[in-house]
Amino acid sequence: MKQSKELFGFTCCRWLWTSSGDRASAAVAVTGCARAHLGYGRWELCSFLLARAVLAVKQRVLARSVNANGAAEGNIYLFLCHAKKRGGDTCEYLLSSGRFLGEKVWQPHSCMMHKYKNSEAKNCLIDKHVVFIGDSRIRQLFYSFIKLINPQVKEEGIKHGNIPFEDKSASIKVDFLWYPEVNGSMRQRIKSWTEGSVAKPHIIVVGAATWSIKIHNGSNEALAQYKINITSIAPLLEKLAISSDVYWVLQDPVYEDMLSENRKMITNEKIDAYNEAAVRILNSSSRNSKAKVKVFSVSKLIAQETIMKSADGLHLPESSRDTNAMILMNVYCNKIMKPIDGSCCQPQPPLTLIQKIAFCFFTLSIIGYLIISLIHRNNYRKNKSCTDLESGEEKKPAISTPNISTLEMLLQCFCKLGLIMTYFYLCDRANLFMKENKFYTHSSFFIPIVYILVLGVFYTENTKETKVLNREQTDEWKGWMQLVILIYHISGASTFLPVYMHIRVLVAAYLFQTGYGHFSYFWIKGDFGVYRVCQVLFRLNFLVVVLCIVMDRPYQFYYFVPLVTVWFMIIYATLAVWPQIVQKKANGNCLWHFGLLLKLICLLTCIYFLSYSQGAFEKIFSFWPLSKCFELNGNVYEWWFRWKLDRYVVFHGMLFAFIYLALQKRQMISEGKGDPLFSNRVSNVLLFISIVSFLTYSIWASSCKNKTECNELHPSVSVVQILAFILIRNIPGYVRSVYSSFFAWFGKISLELFICQYHIWLAADTKGILVLIPGYPMFNVLVSTFIFVCVAHEISQITNDLAQIVVPKDNSTLLKRLLCIAGFFSGLHFFSAMQDQSRH
Instruction: Residue 292: count other Cβ atoms within 10 Å of its Cβ.
Output: 16
CA geometry: angle 737, 738, 741, nearest 5 deg: 145
Instruction: Give the phi and the psi of residue 106 in degrees, each rounded to 5.
Output: -90, 130
Within 318-469, residue ranges assigned H as helices are 318-337, 353-384, 406-428, 442-458
- Radius of gyration for the chain, computed over Cα atoms and rounded to the nearest angstrom: 32
> Cα(772)–Cα(76) distance, rounded to whole angstroms?
11
* Residue 151: CB atoms within 10 Å: 8
Task: Give the integer Cα–Cα distance in Å for 208 and 315.
Answer: 13
DSSP code, position 404: P
What sign does the CA torsion over 463, 464, 470, 476 have?
negative
DSSP 739: E
Nearest partner of 751 among 439, 543, 537, 571, judged by Cα: 543
Distance (Å) of CA 149 to CA 169, 343, 813? 11, 21, 61
Which residues lie closer than 8 Å to 759 by C-beta, 6 or more apart? Answer: 424, 427, 428, 547, 551, 765
Among candidate residues 484, 516, 814, the one with its CA nearest the CA of residue 651: 516
Q: Counting Cβ atoms within 10 Å, is residue 634 exposed (0-12), middle (13-18) or buried (19+)?
A: exposed
Distances (CA, A) of 224 to 219, 238, 244, 548: 9, 22, 29, 60
DSSP letters for 245-286: EEEEEPPPP--GGG--GGGTT--HHHHHHHHHHHHHHHHHHH
CA distance 507 to 605: 23
Sign of CA dihedral 215, 221, 222, 225: negative
544 CB-near residues (< 8 Å, 6+ apart): 555, 558, 561, 755
User: Parallel, antiparallel, or unpaired: how do β-strands 245-249 and 294-296 relate?
Assistant: parallel
First CA to last CA across the chain, in angstroms? 64
Rounded Cα distance, 444 and 453, in Å: 15
CA 5 to mean position of chain CA atoms: 32
Q: DSSP letters along 531-545, please?
A: HHHHHHHHHHHHHHH
Quick one: DSSP state of residue 635?
B
With H, G, I as helix, E, B as strand and everything else as coil, classify residue 164.
strand
DSSP bridge pairs for 175: 131, 164
| Rounded Cα–Cα distance for residues 576 and 124 (Å) | 52
Give the catalytic positions in this structure: 136, 312, 315
Distance CA 419, CA 130 (A): 46
Is the distance from CB of 677 to CB of 468 less than 8 angstroms? yes
CA 467 to chain CA centroid, nearest Å: 37
Alpha helices in 70-208 (DSSP H): 82-86, 90-96, 118-125, 136-149, 184-192
Find the largest Cα–Cα distance for the chain.
110
Whether 162 and 176 have beta carbons less than 8 Å apart is answered as yes
DSSP code, position 79: G
